Structure 1
Amino acid sequence: MTKIAFGSDHVGYILKPTVMKYVESLGYETVDYGTYSDKRTDYPIYGQKAAEAVASGECDLGVVICGTGVGISLAANKVKGIRAVCCSEPYSAQLSRQHNNTNVLAFGSRVVGSELAKMIVKDWLDADFLGGRHERRVDELGAIEDNSIDEFKKIKDSNAKKYLD
């Protein structure tokens, strides 16, 4: 069963239980990495916790929520191997999985309501990475993350079959 890591700050905490319950109704397992109340806290703590669970393989994907989704997505993206996207509508969420192979989804509880959040999460979870020319770009992102100029050039100039469709 696919396991989804959840994290939020105190503002995202308001929406998180609703989204977690919805994701569970779709047949996924959820793991809550906090916060566990509406007491003021810092979003980087929980963006990092959820992202580390994904990067380590403890969870398959992650969903993180703060007021706008921006701050917590920035925190998640600081974890090596994470490609977090902040989305306020379903189309970008879907394409982020298909084209960018995102593994963490972020949104803001002050930006989207519970029904829109459900639509965003569903379209994101239902989408599959398309590979091909998109795989080259994801591999280039990995080379940038590794600060490997040589690897980036090698990928960019490659005519490998996996990059050609």
Structure 2
Amino acid sequence: MTPAFRWRSRTTFAPFITARGRLPTMSSNRKGDRRERELVNRLDEAGFAVMRAPASGSATTRELPDVLAGNGEVFYAIEAKASSGRPIYLDGEEVEALIYFSQNFGAKARIAVRFDREDWYFFHPGDLYVTDGGNYRVKKETALAEGEDFESFTGGPTQTKLGDD
């Protein structure tokens, strides 16, 4: 009896194996795009009108935020970043461009971060840690302890953290 699927030998994938002897994982760009779409869908479900600017970062010389969102009362220009658990770094120029765009557009600048197996957390750029090189950093522990959770950000029920009375 022939199985419904056939195991492929490693030689089948030989052209794709990396120098470390592994099959490549999803590229960070594809993962970032997927996470941005996830954020757009969540904001849409929360009642925001949302637009993703997929050209941000490469296809244009203008610096655009990853996501624009508004609900008629508040408007956000959002730079979205995701990580498996390692600290997230943002280029200083990227954050300054977000602030510049937000001010001219009449939106509030926010940095949205998501770590694997965690929800989205939001920061005002001024609340982020600035490195000696002028870049910005968000650690997972910082996001969980100090970030604004998704429900609070969208005006939904807020998350109560231990120690909050």
| TM-score of the aligned structures, taking structure 1 as reference length | 0.38
Bigger relative contact order (CA 8 A; separation at least 6): 1
| TM-score of the aligned structures, taking structure 2 as reference length | 0.38
- Greater fraction helix: 1
Tell which structure's C-alpha radius of gyration is larger. 2
- Greater fraction strand: 2
